[in-house]
Amino acid sequence: MTGRHYTAIPGPSVLPDRVLAAMHRAAPDIYAPEIEAMAAGIATDLKTLAGTRGNLAMYLCNGHGTWEAMATNLFSPGDPVLLLACGTFGHGWANVLRGLGLDPQVIDFGLRSPADPEAVTKALRAAPATRAVLVTHVDTATSVRSDVAAIRAAMDAAGSDALLALDCVASLGCDEVRMDDWGVDVLLGASQKGLMTPPGMGFVWFSDKARAAGEGARLRTPYWDWTRRADPAEFWQYWFGTAPTHHLYGLRESLTMILREEGLPALWARHERLAQAVWAAVEAWGRGNPEIRLNVADPEARGRSVTSVQFGAPHAAALRDWVTAHGLTLGVGLGMGTEADPKASGWLRIAHMGHVNGHMTLGALAVIEAGLQALGIPHGQGALEAAAKVI
Ligand SMILES: *Cc1c(COP(=O)(O)O)cnc(C)c1O
């Protein structure tokens, strides 16, 4: 293989050379003042990134770990919880809650639609004791994006004082996220998607209301307890043990790129544009083959970091193999099969997440176009021109 391979899967995302270079160093003394100062600066920057003045607990874990962290800090067995599912990741979160002995009420919005605020109001009126509403901002499997401010408004309309918890693993650092403005009480993120750092760090931001609501939570365990992590009296308490030293160096670099160099408005606009380029190409292909289509009809309900596309079975698998051999790896379809054949996947996912630009996204679309031609998969013309116009 020659040239640079582009792994365009929705996490782990492309690692900037600068992040890798920052991590390439000998093991540091974890009590060196430099590491301590770096951790404090990272915590401050992560709050800016999430749009909150609230609290932050950092963990050595992946996104799944943050699901367990939030639940154990907030809940006791039997607590009524409402979970809004728009794909595999919503259901995965529900399964973690079940594993902890909770019995969440799950509203399943299917695979193509965002969470419906009216359904939230109705559910909360019927179950006023609900302690928390859990929602995935962008479900990485379906690429469905839900309107968080509208969900908060729906909770208020029901007179509910439940907490709002939001999984932003796939959107943070790509899509607009405003924790405090949206009235979010608990926000979840991880290092390996928009944050452009290897998997291994998870983040839970939480409001003072969430902190108070979680006091006395009987599911709370020493390792996941967010109290000291958010407010460490000694450095080791950030991590409940050894700091994730090399991740910190990488994250320091990526946060500098995100917040100090590009800036959030430009970063959001870049992801928006790359997403629109992908949508334009898929729509053009679909004009020559109705089987090729975007999963989500309403552009407002589409994630800006990943796009789930139907190419049709058996084309999707052959296309994925073809583009892999030509330098591009796409994400597989997740949870998109039919009831009759849950494993049937005519779906692929194109990531446009993190360290990406017009060259990479246009290149990815061009390789897909070449694969459609090479494999004789019917498709409409003009996809690359349409994408180029957007860029
Ligand atoms: C990737 C992802 C997760 C899971 O993260 P892992 O690091 O794979 O455990 C959870 N939620 C969303 C929305 C994700 O995109």
From the CA of 202, how far away is ligand 1's center (Å)? 10
Same domain, 207 and 354: no
Q: What is the number of structural domains in the chain?
A: 2
Same domain, 304 and 199: no
Check residue 360 and give its pLDDT.
98
Same domain, 202 and 311: no
In a domain, 294, yes or no: yes
Ramachandran bin of 135, using left for φ above 0, alpha for ψ from -120 to 50, beta for the remaining angles: beta
Residue nearest atom 3 of ligand 1, based on CA coordinates: 63
Cα separation, 150 vs 166, in Å, equals 13
**Whether residue 188 has its Cβ less than 6 Å from ligand 1:** no
pLDDT above 70 (res 342): no
In a domain, 6, yes or no: no
Per-residue pLDDT reduced to its tens digit, 96-109: 999 999 999 999 99
Check residue 344 and give its pLDDT.
62
pLDDT above 70 (res 343): no
In a domain, 12, yes or no: no
Domain boundary among the residues 260, 292, 327 is at 260
Give the ligand 1 atom nearest the CA of 140: 15
In a domain, 195, yes or no: yes
Same domain, 354 and 217: no
Read off the pLDDT band of 345 (50, 70, 90).
Answer: confident
What sign has the CA pseudo-torsion 188, 191, 192, 194?
positive
Give the ligand 1 atom nearest the CA of 11: 1
The pair phi, psi for residue 304, each rounded to 5°, is -100, 5
CA distances 82 to 79, 124, 130, 330, Å, are 10, 8, 7, 33
**Peptide bond connecting 299 to the previous residue in cis, omega within 30 degrees of 0:** no
- CATH number for the domain that contains residue 192: 3.40.640.10
Annotated binding residues for substrate, written as ranges, equal 349
From the CA of 380, how far away is ligand 1's center (Å)? 33
Domain boundary among the residues 229, 260, 291 is at 260
Per-residue pLDDT reduced to its tens digit, 233-271: 999 999 999 999 999 999 999 999 999 999 999 999 999
Cα separation, 391 vs 381, in Å, equals 18
What sign has the CA pseudo-torsion 98, 104, 109, 115?
negative
Read off the pLDDT band of 339 (50, 70, 90).
Answer: low
Same domain, 81 and 171: yes
Mean pLDDT of 346-358: 97
Read off the pLDDT band of 321 (50, 70, 90).
Answer: very high
In a domain, 5, yes or no: no
Mean pLDDT of 20-41: 95
Q: Average pLDDT over the chain, rounded to whole?
A: 96
In a domain, 33, yes or no: yes
Same domain, 181 and 321: no
Same domain, 247 and 283: no
Check residue 2 and give its pLDDT.
86
Same domain, 283 and 214: no
Cα separation, 69 vs 26, in Å, equals 31
Q: Range of 280's domain?
A: 263-390
In a domain, 10, yes or no: no
Same domain, 245 and 301: no
Same domain, 152 and 25: yes
Residue nearest atom 5 of ligand 1, based on CA coordinates: 63
Same domain, 21 and 162: yes
From the CA of 63, how far away is ligand 1's center (Å)? 5
Same domain, 80 and 222: yes
The pair phi, psi for residue 36, each rounded to 5°, is -65, -45
pLDDT above 80 (res 126): yes
Counting beta carbons within 10 angstroms of the beta carbon of residue 193, is it exposed (0 to 12), middle (13 to 18) or buried (19 or more)?
buried
Q: Tokens 């928390």: give the residue.
A: 132
C-beta separation of 168 from 177 below 8 A: yes
**Peptide bond connecting 378 to the previous residue in cis, omega within 30 degrees of 0:** no
- CATH number for the domain that contains residue 309: 3.90.1150.10
pLDDT above 70 (res 358): yes
Give the ligand 1 atom nearest the CA of 65: 9
Per-residue pLDDT reduced to its tens digit, 68-92: 999 999 999 999 999 999 999 999 9
Check residue 313 and give its pLDDT.
87
In a domain, 319, yes or no: yes
Mean pLDDT of 143-172: 98
Mean pLDDT of 187-192: 98
Name residue 110's amino acid.
G
From the CA of 372, how far away is ligand 1's center (Å)? 30
pLDDT above 80 (res 59): yes
Annotated binding residues, written as ranges, equal 349
Domain boundary among the residues 260, 288, 303 is at 260
Check residue 271 and give its pLDDT.
98
